[in-house]
């Protein structure tokens, strides 16, 4: 069996990939996972707060929209930046039916955190670690005959009992991964020649689920149905079919046997055409670390991208683009101070950002500043959502959440 070891970020393997004396079975596959800043180690005031109650609420909304379909929550990209292990523990207790990840490394992280629920590895790249997939009781998604051979070889060697349960991905219009309809006959032939593999599920990926109409969804589902019928004629009958992501699910389109909500679990509606009662689970906050008054004409920040037109109070906060605040928000975005919007002025720096707080009375050192989420204070009450931040930065909400870096510690709280 080939071992998968997790090493600290600065560690090196005792088996070099170019070591001529190391056989393939002796080599170690290194799972290099950057370490997230821990709350106990936090010194500066910048942090992301994850509301576990909001996650449970969103799962309840998703389950209602799913109309009885199984709910497999998507936790790729470190749980959309929220911290996959902690989120998975909460959702497992909320009785989701399983989890989906993109990478084998992400699945290993969940298993190492004690998650026992089914985990579907959707990315389709397993390197030489087929044995790790089986040893950790993960469900692989296959779309290439080489995948079949890789897993079958583990069974034939006697290392693992067969058959291996898998899901097969069908490309119905994404042109990214999946068996293309024209290649189905050859793939079905390969399945027939590989009794060590049992197809438990069929899946596809919707390319335009957030469109105003469901026409594209319907066309892809029709192609998926045709592929399903063809495979059934060839003796491949899956118990579980799934296609719907968050956007399709909230529209109650392409529900099938299971749904794969991702961003909806974290409180973001992926389509402006559907306003489900979701609660944003992440709130990012920091504090004022400096306040000063500058004169008319004085520049602010790198390149002097902002110059004061009047006596201006500038508050510096301890968050920058290395923390995940888009640099594109320079002179465009805002943060909340004492419940009121304070415009970002000048260039967003790597570690700090400057705000114009001239119109907000009594701003001082250590005042809370909300980068993402809501705040109520002496000057009002307001909310900055991921959709707004994405719009101002020419991004999408998925980027806003997933780019909050690992040097920002996550704090988990109940409401």
pLDDT of residue 29: 52
Residue 92, class by beta-carbon neighbours within 10 Å (0-12 exposed, 13-18 middle, 19+ buried)? middle
Mean pLDDT in the chain? 91
Looking at the chain, the whole-number percentage of residues with pLDDT higher than 70 is 91
Q: What is the DSSP letter of 187?
A: H
Q: Which residue has the higher pLDDT, 281 or 414?
A: 281
pLDDT at residue 49, as a whole number: 97
Taking residues 169-198, what's their average pLDDT?
96
The answer, yes or no, to whether residue 240 has pLDDT greater than 70, is yes
Residues 6+ apart with CB under 8 A from 272: none
Burial 139-160 (b: 16+ CB within 10 A, else e): bbbbbbbebbbbbbebbeeeeb
- Residue 392 burial class via C-beta count within 10 angstroms: exposed 0-12, middle 13-18, buried 19 and up: middle
pLDDT of residue 127: 87
- Residue ranges of the chain assigned to CATH 2.40.37.10: 282-413
CATH of domain 67-266: 3.20.20.10
Write out the two tokens for 294: 């500058």
Instruction: Report domain 282-413's class.
Output: mainly beta
Does the active-site annotation cover 302?
Answer: yes
Distance between CA atoms of 159 and 1, rounded to whole angstroms?
7
User: Average pLDDT in the 235-241 region?
Assistant: 96
The residue among 130, 250, 157, 256 whose CA lies nearest residue 203 is 256
Model-level pTM? Answer: 0.89
In 3D space, the residue among 48, 120, 119 whose CA is nearest the CA of residue 266 turns out to be 48
Spatial separation of the C-alpha atoms in residues 76 and 84, rounded to whole Å = 8
Among 95, 125, 233, 302, which one carries the catalytic annotation?
302
Torsion angles phi and psi, residue 190, rounded to 5: -65, -40
Placement of tokens 């991004």 in the chain? 395
Task: Say whether pLDDT at 27 is over 70.
Answer: no
Residue from 70, 76, 143, 233 carrying the catalytic annotation: 76
- Residue 321 known to be catalytic: no
Question: Where in the chain is CATH 3.20.20.10?
Answer: 67-266
Q: Which structure tokens are listed for 179?
A: 């068996």
Q: Is the pLDDT of residue 211 over 70?
A: yes
Q: Looking at the chain, how many residues does it have? A: 415
Examine the pLDDT at 103 and tell me if it is beyond 50.
yes
Identify the residue whose tokens are 């069929």. Answer: 202
The proportion of the chain whose per-residue pLDDT surpasses 90, expressed as a percent, equals 83
Query: 32 pLDDT band (50/70/90 cuts)?
Result: low
Model confidence pLDDT, tens digit, residues 337-349: 999 999 999 999 9
**Could you read off the pLDDT of 288-299 as tens digits, one per residue?**
999 999 999 999
Q: What average pLDDT does the segment 108-127 reach?
A: 96
């Amino acid at each position: 069996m080939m071992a998968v070891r997790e090493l600290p970020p600065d560690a090196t393997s005792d088996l070099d990939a170019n070591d001529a004396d190391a056989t393939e079975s002796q080599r170690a596959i290194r799972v290099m996972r950057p370490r997230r800043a821990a709350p106990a180690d936090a010194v500066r005031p910048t942090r992301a707060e994850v509301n576990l109650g909001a996650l449970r609420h969103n799962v309840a909304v998703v389950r209602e929209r799913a109309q009885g379909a199984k709910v497999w929550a998507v936790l790729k990209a470190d749980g959309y930046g929220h911290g996959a292990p902690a989120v998975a523990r909460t959702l497992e207790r909320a009785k989701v039916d399983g989890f989906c990840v993109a990478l084998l490394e992400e699945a290993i992280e969940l298993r190492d955190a004690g998650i026992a629920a089914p985990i579907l590895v959707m990315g389709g790249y397993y390197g030489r670690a087929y044995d790790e997939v089986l040893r950790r009781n993960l469900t692989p998604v296959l779309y290439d005959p080489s995948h079949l051979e890789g897993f079958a070889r583990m069974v034939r060697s006697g290392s693992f009992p067969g058959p291996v349960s898998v899901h097969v991905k069908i490309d119905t219009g994404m042109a990214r991964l999946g068996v293309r309809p024209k290649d189905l006959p050859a793939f079905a032939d390969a399945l027939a020649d590989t009794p060590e593999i049992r197809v438990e599920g069929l899946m596809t990926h919707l390319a335009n689920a957030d469109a105003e109409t469901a026409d594209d969804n319907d066309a892809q589902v029709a192609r998926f149905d045709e592929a399903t019928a063809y495979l059934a004629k060839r003796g491949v009958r899956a118990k579980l079919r799934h296609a719907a992501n968050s956007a399709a699910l909230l529209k109650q389109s392409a529900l099938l046997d299971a749904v794969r909500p991702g961003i909806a679990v974290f409180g973001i509606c992926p389509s402006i055409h559907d306003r489900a009662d979701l609660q944003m689970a992440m709130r990012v906050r920091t504090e004022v670390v400096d306040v000063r008054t500058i004169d008319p004409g004085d520049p602010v920040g790198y390149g002097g991208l902002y110059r004061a037109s009047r006596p201006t109070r500038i508050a510096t906060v301890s968050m920058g683009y290395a923390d995940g605040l888009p640099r594109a928000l320079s002179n465009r975005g805002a943060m909340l101070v004492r419940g009121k919007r304070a415009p970002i002025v000048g260039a967003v720096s790597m570690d700090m950002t400057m705000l114009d707080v001239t119109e907000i009375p009594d701003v001082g050192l250590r005042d809370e500043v909300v980068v993402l989420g809501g705040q109520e204070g002496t000057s009002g009450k307001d909310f900055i959502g991921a959709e707004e931040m994405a719009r101002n930065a020419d991004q999408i909400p998925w980027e806003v959440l997933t780019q909050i870096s690992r040097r920002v510690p996550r704090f988990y709280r109940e409401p």
